[in-house]
Structure 1
Amino acid sequence: MTGTHSGPLAVSVIGLGMAAEPHALALRDLVERVRVVHAATRSVGRGQAFAARHGFPVTADIDAAITDPVVDAVIVLTPPNTHAVIAEAALHAGKHVLIEKPLDASLPAAEGIVATAGRLGLRAGVVLQHRFRPAAQRLRAMIDDGALGAIQAAHLHVAWWRPQSYYDEPGRGTLARDGGGVLMTQAIHAIDLMRSLVGPMTVAHAMARTTALHRMEVEDHVVALLRLPNGAPASIVATTAAAPGFPETLDLIGTRATARLTAGQLDVAYVDGRREQVVADTRSGAGAGPMDFTHDAHRALIADFADAIRDDRSPLCSAHDALETQRLIAAMLAG
């Protein structure tokens, strides 16, 4: 399915777990632009509850939801280790795909999705919605305009919290299902935003471990030293062991100004004394409630994905670009 698209985008949503809620709210807001044809889950109880909350037609027939000729695109919201199987099936059925982060628990499988979408001429996007926050978009524009000057350093601090009960859920915090811990599941949003703002980073050194606060297979604390494209230093500290959880911060130090993103809020201090601020909701799911955030950024991301299909262009958060974030995470975990 190539070329421009007219009329509301017809989609199937696959997976109705925790991640589906902000998507459902966003899709309800976008009802004139995106039409949900199927919302698919194998859990009858979950499907009934989802239909009661949102009014979307629910089915247990995932294969039919993917292959339905009416469907233009498939939104994949299942656990990470199932993403590639579903996305590949959708792509081979001629559907565009929007995939909840990460692309897949396996880096080779993620690379396969990107290759298949490219070979078939279909659009593939990834749900890394922090790029669509107004403060992040303002910072992107400032960097592009040279308002910060040359970036001299970049530092990301993701001090989040997840109680042990979160990791006691079957499969959560395992390599087999999630592909990793704090980097792949929580900090990936902030890491992706950082990389999209400063460009490709190389890992100089990294340490990953599991603290005494959690019983889990994968890492809950990572410290990494990196280099920016111009050779300047960067750092990433990410954890889910910092109770009760704090908004993530990203500092960009430039020759003309220093910018700090605190979740969805931007503060800029210029060397000449001027100040600028973009005030927004700073909830980001940093604490024990992982879904404690608004669905505004999801709505903007889904709208962009629909526009990308209509206009026959790449979505702003493409699978090709998101793959570079996943490769950076793999490099940090490799040390």
Structure 2
Amino acid sequence: MSRPSYRSAIVGTGGIAAVHAQAVAASGGRARLVAAVDVDLDRATAFAAAWQAPRVFASLTELLREEPVDLVHLCTPPLTHAPLALECLEAGVTVLVEKPPTLSLAELDTLAEAESRSAAHLATVFQHRFGPGADRLRRMLAAGDLGRPLVATCLTQWYRDDAYFAVPWRGTWASEGGGPTMGHGIHQFDLLFSVLGRWREVTGLAARQARGTETEDVSMAMVTFDSGAVASVVNSVLSPRETSVLRFDFERATVELEHLYGYTDADWTVTPAPGCEDVLKRWSAEPRTTGSSGHPGQLAAVLDALDRGEAPPVTTADARLTMEFVAALYASAFTGERVTRGRITAGSPFARRMDGTGAPWKGTGR
């Protein structure tokens, strides 16, 4: 029996939209791009011509009214994610939304409530969960091959200059929701959580060191997990030698991943503890996966779930664990207190906005 081919539309035709279009094109016909949507109709038209999308619209409302679609790829600036995703859910259309899915926990909870009333689903783009090696690591941990997780480090040390933040919606709480914690490091620590599970407590620090933004340009966190593991997390846009590093120290081995914006199977290394050489043999015995941790891997997983009639990954609940960590890091950094999971309730200012009552440097510049 042949698989269905899902009618897909890309909303927002900026830089990341081409990555989504490439993923659709690489799906082997399981998805088809039937429309491109952008408030700049000329840009949408050029994008549609480049990717052979037959129809162009100036708004999501027009698309949903005039074109039957199964899956919307939401590639607009973060400020628009919540209202546009809500419109998709209310129309019964599944939406795959770029990170961050919303600007706040309150917005994400609104979408979760709308999803509970809809036949459609919300999935967030956290493509690093689906890269080569990640599933192998999770399987081996679940099977007990690695022993208990003990210590982890998660580093996203990138470089973004002032010109990068000249784009009006970047570097502001109201339109981007945060700095590198929200917009850059989120991919790495989401992968961290997909391996180590639920975090329990955060002690955070956020600072504005060099960029003229409203948001932080560097943040750090000390994290404990329900498993008892501990981790340190660094998110920076001030680092000329850019790197993305995850290191997991288990009882029986150290597993490391170093890359920049996407990884392959070759970017993982495993160092067994003395007397635990079987771990390396087990890792090497697993089938090697081609490709990298890009959008095609997650889109394939989304289409697999839709084939089965299930909620596609990354689910709203999965995304909420990651977004709650972001809110907790900011809350800890700005209040000086440790923040436990579940402490940021609906009435908290950090549920409504990631900067809560305001960053310490508020009013000292942009």
Post-superposition CA distance 1:67-92 (Å, at most 9, x none): 34621222211111111111111111
Letter in 2 for 1:310: D
Greater shift, 149-158 or 119-128, is seen at 119-128
Letter in 1 for 2:311: S
Post-superposition CA distance 1:197-255 (Å, at most 9, x none): 0011133411001112x111101111111111133321111111101412x11111111
2:179 is the counterpart of 1:181: yes
Determine the C-alpha separation between the residues in 1 that align with 2:139 and 2:61.
42
Specify the alignment match of 2:248 in structure 1.
Answer: 252
Specify the alignment match of 1:7 in structure 2.
Answer: 4
Post-superposition CA distance 1:114-142 (Å, at most 9, x none): 22112223222110000111022221222
Determine the C-alpha separation between the residues in 1 that align with 2:258 and 2:35.
37
Aligned residues: 317
Task: Report the CA distance shift for 1:280/1:155 in structure 2 as closer, same or farther (over 3 A).
Answer: farther
Higher relative contact order (CA 8 A, sep 6+): 1
Q: Is the 8 A contact 2:127 2:293 kept in 1?
A: no
Alignment of 1:118-197 (within 5 A): 118-197=116-195
Specify the alignment match of 1:37 in structure 2.
Answer: 34
Task: Report the CA distance shift for 1:64/1:134 in structure 2 as closer, same or farther (over 3 A).
Answer: same
Determine the C-alpha separation between the residues in 2 that align with 1:297 and 1:145.
26
Cα shift at 1:193: 0.6
Greater shift, 61-70 or 125-134, is seen at 61-70
Alignment of 1:1-335 (within 5 A): 7-30=4-27, 32-57=29-54, 58-68=56-66, 70-212=68-210, 214-246=211-243, 248-263=244-259, 264=263, 265-271=267-273, 272=275, 274=277, 275=280, 297-335=294-332
Q: Is the 8 A contact 1:66 1:74 kept in 2?
A: no
Letter in 1 for 2:121: R
Cα shift at 1:62: 2.5
Post-superposition CA distance 1:245-284 (Å, at most 9, x none): 12x1111111111111113221111113634579999xxx
Cα shift at 1:189: 0.6
Task: Report the CA distance shift for 1:6/1:115 in structure 2 as closer, same or farther (over 3 A).
Answer: farther
CA RMSD in angstroms comes to 2.1
Letter in 2 for 1:129: Q
Greater shift, 29-38 or 74-83, is seen at 29-38
Determine the C-alpha separation between the residues in 1 that align with 2:175 and 2:20.
21
> Structure 1 vs Structure 2: percent identity of aligned residues?
32
Cα shift at 1:328: 0.7
Determine the C-alpha separation between the residues in 2 that align with 1:204 and 1:96.
33
Determine the C-alpha separation between the residues in 1 that align with 2:5 and 2:313.
19
Letter in 1 for 2:114: T
Letter in 2 for 1:128: F
Paired residue secondary structure (2:39):
coil
Q: Is the 8 A contact 1:22 1:295 kept in 2?
A: no
Greater shift, 177-186 or 262-271, is seen at 262-271
Which has the larger Rg? 2
Paired residue secondary structure (2:246):
strand
Q: Is the 8 A contact 1:97 1:123 kept in 2?
A: yes
Determine the C-alpha separation between the residues in 2 that align with 1:94 and 1:147.
43
Letter in 2 for 1:165: A
Q: Is the 8 A contact 2:8 2:71 kept in 1?
A: yes
TM norm structure 1: 0.89
Q: Unaligned 5+ residue runs, structure 1?
A: 282-293
TM norm structure 2: 0.81
Determine the C-alpha separation between the residues in 2 that align with 1:249 and 1:26.
25
Paired residue secondary structure (2:239):
coil
Determine the C-alpha separation between the residues in 1 that align with 2:15 and 2:289.
24
Letter in 2 for 1:16: T
Specify the alignment match of 2:351 in structure 1.
Answer: none
Cα shift at 1:109: 0.8
Q: Unaligned 5+ residue runs, structure 2?
A: 333-366
